[in-house]
Every structure is written in structure tokens, then in C-alpha cells.
Amino acid sequence: MYVANASRYEKMKYNRCGKSGLSLPAVSLGLWKNFGLKDSYDNMEKMALTAFDCGITYFDLANNYGNPYNGSAEENFKRIMSRALKPYRDEIVVATKAGFEMWDGPYGNLNGSRKYMIASLDQSLKRMGLDYVDIYYHHIFDQNTPLEETALALDQVVRQGKALYVGISNYNKAQTAEMTAILKELKTPFIVNQISYSMLNRWIENDGLDEWALENGIGLSVYSPLYQGLLTDKYISGVPADSRIGKNDTWIGGQRDERMVLKLSALSQIAADRGQKLSQLALSWVLHNKAVTTVIIGASRPEQVKENAECINNSEFSDDEISRINEILAM
């Protein structure tokens, strides 16, 4: 029988999500990869329990997560909850998302309609064996659905008790501002935008989304903070066969050229000077942005979860370090 580490909350830092009352761990666990039908259940359970023992209380899912078929990550999370984490439900934040293609026909494709959003959450709750999720996200902006319709669907699931808070994902600054205005008028507890952001992907800075979110009290949950694993030491000397690039399980394999290796090597040296691995440096750098509430890590084994969670042990940067990092990234 699983018993959680009694000192788990002493190991993690928690940040208020925007201006809401909800705090999230600085590091969260994403279940996009390695939680599907063909993955080892024992390994995924160990990763989830290791995360919780590290003080990671936020588990991030989506209706289409899992391989080879959509929804299998949520089904496996149900097993983890029922076997080990159910007694700790009130200490856990469970999030799921809907918006990408999920089922056949016109109502389950890339979508933000009321039909899709409400049906999808009902399906997700059934797969996870939960009465409610803590955060329900619209996964991607849908130009074919009025934002008012998507907003009203998000508002409805809160009023029905199926979600405590709502969020959006992959929305830029202008889209976020428009959705915020609608949900504010509805008095819906909208608290977070989940976006991609890393040392190698700084679009939110150019867009101004991070500054806007900070000023307007919307938290940012960050996925792909390691840029699909490229911001790790393992790619400096080569491409391991069991890595995501080695298995052709990512779209960034072609970016590992001579120039990128030089960048990674230089960043790795800064990390070593700080007593960190490159991955820990990359996570700390993302968290250094005051607009960021949490970084969502992926993992293939429990040791990675523990290692990445330790990034919070050295999350401050000197002006000289920031200057050196910016020079390297501009190479």
C-alpha cells in the first residue's frame, strides 16, 4: 500500500496561479508521453508516485493524450488514482484539456464548440473515474467557433460542478485578452493559460503574452520547457537511440545541428558552474520569468522526475548569468 512521503511539501515551492486562490507546484507532471496503452504501467505509476513524493501536486492531462489511441493516458491515470492516490485526492490538482481531434465526425475534430467541450469533459471524467477536475482547459484556439460559445461552455462546466477552475491553452496575447474579458463578465474562475516556452522558444516574450498575463492576474503553465528534450545533456555528444530524437518521436530532430550543439555545450557549462544539469538550468530559467506559475515536465523514468524537480533548489540567476545565457542563445 502506497504511503506518501511525509516531508513532500518541504521539497517543493508553490506559486499562486495568477490572482486566484489556487497555488500550483513550481514543477508539475505532464502525462502526454509514456502514459499510453503500450507503455509500462509499473513505470508510469512509479513516475506519478515519485512526483507526488517530491511535492508535485499538479497532474496535467488532455482528452487526446495516450498512445496508440486517444484517452489511454486518462484511463491509466484512473488506475494510478484508484491504486495509490485516491486517499490524497484533495491534495492533488488534476487538469485535463479538450480542443484537438478526438473522435470521428464533425463534433470531435479540432473544436471549441459547446457540443464538443461539454461532451469531452464528460468522457474525460468517466475515463479518470472522477467527479470533477480542478482545471479544465480549452486546448487550442478555434477560429471557427465564437469565443463567447467556448467561454459559455467553460462557464457551464464550473456551474455544474464538473470543474473548479478553467483555463485556455495555446492562445496568444490578443486571444487571451479577449477570452479574459468574456469570462470576467461571466464571473467564471478563469486562472491560467498553458503555453509552450523555453530557452529555445521565446515567442511569448515577443508576443507580450507573459507581461500581459502578469499585469492581468492570469497564471502561465508552461509545457515543453526542455524543448522536446533538446535542452538536456544527452544530445551534446550524440543522439541516443532510445531518445525522442533517436526514435523519431519529435519534430525538432533536424534542429540539432553543429550550431545547436555549440549552444547546448555552452549552456551546459553554465549549468555545471551552478551545480546543475542542463535540464535543471533550463527549467530554472523558465521559472525565473515572474509570469510563469509552473513548468510541466515529461519523463520516461522516475529518476528524471526527481532530478527535474530539484531545479527549484537553485532558481535564482545573477545579472551576469542572464547576460551570458542571452549571448549564447543569440549565437
Q: What is the pLDDT of residues 80-131, one digit of tens each?
A: 999 999 999 999 999 999 999 999 999 999 999 999 999 999 999 999 999 9
Report the pLDDT value the prediction gives residue 53, as an integer from 0 to 100. Answer: 98
Residue 210 falls inside a structural domain: yes
- Closest Cα partner for 309 from 131, 43, 52? 52
The CATH number that applies at residue 144 is 3.20.20.100
Tally of domains in the chain: 1
Residue 324 falls inside a structural domain: no
pLDDT at residue 241 tops 60: no
Give me the torsion for CA of 241, 254, 47, 310, rounded to 10°: 110
Residue 243 falls inside a structural domain: no
Residue 130 falls inside a structural domain: yes
Distances (CA, A) of 188 to 166, 167, 179, 266: 8, 10, 11, 45
Write the pLDDT tens digit of every residue in 101-115: 999 999 999 999 999
Residue 191 falls inside a structural domain: yes
pLDDT band (50, 70, 90) for residue 249: low
pLDDT band (50, 70, 90) for residue 229: confident
Question: Helices 258-273 and 278-287 sit at what angle, rounded to 10 degrees?
Answer: 80
For the beta carbon of residue 271, count every other beta carbon within 10 angstroms: 21
Residue 242 falls inside a structural domain: no
Write the pLDDT tens digit of every residue in 136-195: 999 999 999 999 999 999 999 999 999 999 999 999 999 999 999 999 999 999 999 999
Domain boundaries, position 154: 11-227+278-312
pLDDT at residue 235 tops 70: no
Residue range 40-66: average pLDDT?
Answer: 98
Enter the DSSP assignment of 272.
Answer: H
Question: To which H or E segment does residue 304 belong?
Answer: helix 302-309
Instruction: Copy the grid coordinates of residue 183.
Output: 469570462
Question: With pLDDT > 70 as the criterion, what percentage of the chain qualifies?
Answer: 94
Report the pLDDT value the prediction gives residue 256, as an integer from 0 to 100. Answer: 65
